[in-house]
Amino acid sequence: MSGGDWKELFHAACEGHIELLRYHVKNDVDVNYAHPEFLSTPLVACILARQEASAHLLLDHGANPVLHSEFDGLTPVEAARQAGLVRVEERLRAMGAPDPADVQRAGGWLQRVLGDRLPWYLR
């Protein structure tokens, strides 16, 4: 997989270009990869862009329904709830994704980098 292929898949998912997205998933571009420049997963990103068909296609092709997106700070269920995509949220829950209220996280990438200094930096 080249970075260009993944970036094209990512943008196709977010923009709802289903045929291009289908092309990339059929050619084994990793649907769960979070590129170091983006730190976002294609699934969470397309959900936040309200591209329901893209989300279902990614899930059909192995997108992890519980994979946390670092940049967005959200799980797919949290993103679906925020975007108002009820059918996507229902599907994710049926696939075993926990309710956001039940998810406990240590924090995002900034929390891991700064640790207990984070509150000082945010003042």
Task: Give pLDDT, residue 37.
Answer: 82
pLDDT in tens, the chain (123 residues): 454 598 999 999 999 999 999 999 999 999 999 878 878 999 999 999 999 999 999 999 999 999 999 888 899 999 999 999 999 999 999 999 998 876 555 555 555 555 555 555 454
Structure tokens at 24: 């990339």
Task: Give pLDDT, residue 99.
Answer: 86
Domains of the chain in sequence order = 3-121 (1.25.40.20)
